[in-house]
Structure 1
Amino acid sequence: MLALRLVRGTRPVVQLRRLLVAAATAGVGFLLLCTLGYAVGHPDRSPASALRLLWCALPLAATVQFAVAVARTDPSVRPRPGLSAVGLGPARLTAVAAASTAVACTLGSAVALLLYLHLRGDLTGLPFDGAAAGLLAADRPVPLAAALTLLALPPAAATTAAGLALRPGRTDAPAPRGAERTLPSGLPWGVALVAVGLAAETYAARGGGSGLPLPGRFDGSPTGVLAGWVLTAIGLATAGPGIAHGCGRLLQAFRPGAVRLLAGRVLMDEAPRIGRPLGVVGAVLSGLIAAATVYASGPGTDAFGPLTGLGALLIVVCTTATLLTAALESRQYRARTTEALLRLGAPPTVLRTAALMRAGVLLAVFLPVTWLVGTLAALPLTG
């Protein structure tokens, strides 16, 4: 009840972010139900059904990451003076954040079920009822237990991840003075994972098969390519904080002025918080570059199907929204520093210029890295 009151009493912008989480969960739930419909309609193609379910894991992970990012920026669960006196300590606020995430994701799963039944033709009286009856195996009954189990996956995963991310004693607080000279330790591990992933893709491509293991092109495709791309994505996400930290050092190189020094120091301090979602976005873009290169080079290849397009759209939108939410969280963390600089007489244009410098150097570094990894990932499949 307390979580519902806090959800209802927040600002419209916060409510919009929660609705976006519900919409993303609805998309993932619909993909899971479509996978179930394919399995019910094609009982003789269980390997293809399993691979379709494996493809749904990527949009699910992107949605969970977005839900956690929204929960971290929720002002209603932020510790404030006096809340502990009325029983709202850190542990209780973590439970409230998890409950708010569960409410939004459960709403999305319910919408997914209604949309699925409507497109099958089980719910009539509305436009487009039964429009996808053939695709969703409308001639067969829906296994209710399996459908509810699949729909429970996104809320359960997002709620658990939000509770773990916001638990008391977590290690995402700002670094102490002097620690931001310390290079994040994930950079060498990330580079190693990227190299292993590219090697796995090359080995799998030489083993036979062609194309990417996406829905509609599962049969005969090397499943090791997907495993290699996952390793590459994890590597880029792991190396993201280190790359962002290096960008901050680059801004401060060669006799920096006040603006470059401020931009570099802030970027180095924000690297652990914004670098990981930035690395995930880079991994997603590199995968899209590789997929577009492979499909463009293949003779007579078909375009992505509607469900594949929906899954790719969910991944891109959720990862981009997670990056923007992480940037908002970083802005909230440095709000006191910004106020102190303004009180000391710093012009607002200096702060805006520093922000543009941070964005520019991140784009200048991450875009070439993303293009290089995507091109290298496509070479084993196009050669």
Structure 2
Amino acid sequence: MLALRLARGTHPLVLTRRLLVAAAAAGVGFLLLCTLGYAVGHPAQSSASVLRLLWCVLPLAATVQFAVAVARTDPSTRPRPGLSAIGLGPVRLTAVAAASTAVACTLGSMVALLFYLHLRGDITGLPFDGAAAELLAADQPMPLAAALTLLAILPVVAATAAGLALRPRSAPAEPEGVEKPVPSGLPWGVALVAVGLAIETYAGRGGSGDGLPLPGSFDGNPAGVLAGWVLTAFGLALAGPGLTYGCGRLLQSVRPGATRLLAGRVLMDESRRIGRPLGVVSAVLSGTLAAAALYASGTGPAAFGPLTGLGAALVMACTTATLLTAALESKQCREHTTEALLRLGAPPTVLRTAALMRTGALVAVFLPLTWIVAELAALPLTG
């Protein structure tokens, strides 16, 4: 109830972000229900149904990441003076954030259920009722308990992840003048990318034909290629903070001025906050470019199914939105520093130029890296 009351008084942009989480949850819920419909309509193909369910893990994970990022930027969950006196301490605010995340995801799941029943023809009186009756096995009764169990996965996982991400921590005080440590994930990330690309190359040349079907019509990817891409994606996400920190170092090299020093220092300080979402976006883009190269070469599928397209669109949209939300969180954390610089007489053009420098440095590093990884991933499949 407290989460609902706080939601009524929040800013429209905050509500928009929560509605985007609900929309992503609706997409994931619809994919899960379609997988259930396939299992009901094809009882003899249980292994294919399980594999289709596993394919839904990618959009589900991307939606959970987006929901956690939105919860971190929610102003109603930030500790403020006076809130502890009325019982809203850090622990209670964390519970409110988890509840708000669960409410948004549950709303999306309910919308997915209504839309699914409408396309099956169970709910009539609206346009396109029963339009996908054959695809969704409308001739078979839908197991309601299984449907509700699948729809409950995302709210529970997202709320738990939000609670863990926002739980109160007692961080040790850092002495002034001491530089933050370099993120330690870069060597491990590079190693995972190399191992993932090696597995993809071996699996692509092996031609084992052991396929994992997507929830559409794309079912020709070898399992080894998929495992290699997952390792590559984890490697890029793990290496993202270290690469962002390196971009900050690069901006401050060779006799920098005040603007370059400011831009580099911000990247170094915010490397952990924006580096991981940036690495995830790089992984998704590299996978998209590799799939496009495979499709253009004629060695891939003739067409992608609609549910495959929905899942890919959810992953790309959620990862991009997570990156933008992390950038917003970084800006909010720098508000006091920005106000102090403006009070000291720093012109606003310096702050804008520093922001452009940060963006340019990240694009100059991550864009070629994404292209190289995509080319190396697609080479064993198209060659």
TM range, normalised to the smaller chain?
Answer: over 0.9
Structure 2 CA distance for aligned equivalents of residues 244 and 94 of structure 1 = 29
SS of alignment partner, residue 128 of structure 2: coil
Q: 1:114 to 1:202 in 2, by over 3 A?
A: same
Q: State whether residues 220 and 301 of structure 2, in contact with CA within 8 Å, keep that contact through their aligned partners in structure 1.
A: no
Kindly state the Cα deviation for residue 300 of structure 1 after the two structures are TM-superposed.
7.7
Aligned partner of 2:317 in structure 1 is: 317
Return the alpha-carbon distance in structure 2 between the equivalents of residues 175 and 214 of structure 1: 48
Paired AA for residue 194 in structure 2: A
- Kept in 2, the 8 Å contact 1:83–1:89? The answer is yes
Instruction: Give TM-score scaled by structure 2 length.
Output: 0.96
Q: Deviations over 1:85-122 (max 9, x none)?
A: 11111000000000000110000000000000000110
State the match for 1:245 in structure 2. Answer: 245
Instruction: Please say if residues 218 and 308 of structure 2, whose CA atoms lie closer than 8 Å, have aligned partners that are also in contact.
Output: no
* 1:190 counterpart letter in structure 2: G
Change (3 A) 1:174 1:9: farther
Alignment of 1:200-215 (within 5 A): 200-209=199-208, 214-215=214-215
Q: 1:161 is aligned with what amino acid?
A: A
- In structure 2, the partner of 1:326 is 326
Whole-angstrom CA distance in 2 between matches of 1:170 and 1:22: 32
Q: Contact conserved, 2:294 with 2:300, CA < 8 A, in 1?
A: no
Corresponding position of 1:71: 71
What is the CA–CA distance in structure 1 between the aligned matches of 2:175 and 2:20, rounded to whole Å? 34
Q: Distance in 2 between matches of 1:118 and 1:164?
A: 36
Partner of 1:206, secondary structure, is helix
Partner Cα distance (2:91, 2:250) in 1: 40
Distance in 1, Cα, partners of 2:313 & 2:287: 13
CA positional deviation for 1:208 = 2.1
Identify unmatched segments of 5+ residues in structure 2: none
Q: Is the 8 A contact 2:218 2:305 kept in 1?
A: no
The reply on whether 1:197 has 2:196 as its aligned counterpart is: yes
- CA offset digits 1:183-233 (Å, max 9, x no partner): 210000100111111111122223324688533456554112111111110
> Cα offset for 1:177?
4.3
Quote the Cα distance in structure 2 between the aligned partners of 1:180 and 1:203: 42
Paired residues of 2:71 and 2:97 also in contact (CA < 8 A)? yes
Give yes or no for the alignment of 1:42 onto 2:42: yes
Partner of 1:12: 12
Contact 1:30 1:113 in 2 (8 A): yes
1:258-269 equivalences under 5 Å are 258-269=258-269
Distance apart, 1:181 and its partner CA: 5.1
Q: Following the alignment from structure 1 to structure 2, what is the Cα–Cα distance between the partners of residues 213 and 290? A: 18
Tell me what 1:62 maps to: 62
User: Are the aligned partners of 1:39 and 1:46 in contact in 2 as well (CA < 8 Å)?
Assistant: yes
For residue 271 of structure 2, give the secondary structure of its aligned residue in structure 1.
helix
Equivalent residues in 2 for 1:266-345, closer than 5 Å: 266-299=266-299, 301-345=301-345
Count, aligned residues? 382
Q: How does 1:85-96 map to 2 (within 5 A)?
A: 85-96=85-96
CA deviation after TM superposition for structure 1 residue 298, in Å: 2.3
- Residues 30 and 238 of structure 1: is their aligned pair in 2 closer, same or farther, counting only changes over 3 Å? same
Q: Cα 1:51–1:170, aligned 2, differ >3 Å: closer, same or farther?
A: farther
Cα pair distance change 1:179/1:295, threshold 3 Å: farther
| CA separation of 1:170 and 1:323: change in aligned 2, threshold 3 A | farther
Q: Does 1:188 align with 2:193?
A: no
Match of 1:301, SS state, is: coil
CA displacement 1:219-270 (0-9 Å, x = unmatched): 5541121111111101000000000000001111111111111100111111
Distance change in 2, residues 1:278/1:102 (3 Å): same
Structure 2 counterparts to residues 136-215 of structure 1, below 5 A: 136-169=136-169, 177-178=176-177, 180=179, 182-209=181-208, 214-215=214-215
Distance 1:126 1:176 in 2: 64
2:130 and 2:319 map into 1 onto residues whose CA distance is 32
SS at match of 1:44: coil
Q: Which moved more, 1:191-200 or 1:176-185?
A: 176-185
The 2-side partners of 1:213 and 1:203 are apart by 20
TM-score, normalised with respect to structure 1:
0.96
Kept after mapping to 2: 8 A contact 1:213/1:225: no
Flag structure 1 segments of 5+ consecutive residues without an equivalent: none
Distance of aligned partners of 1:311 and 1:231 in 2 relative to their CA distance in 1, 3 Å threshold: same
Amino acid across the alignment from 1:28 = V
Give the residue type in structure 2 aligned to 1:186. Answer: G
Contact kept in structure 1, 2:252 and 2:260, CA below 8 Å? yes
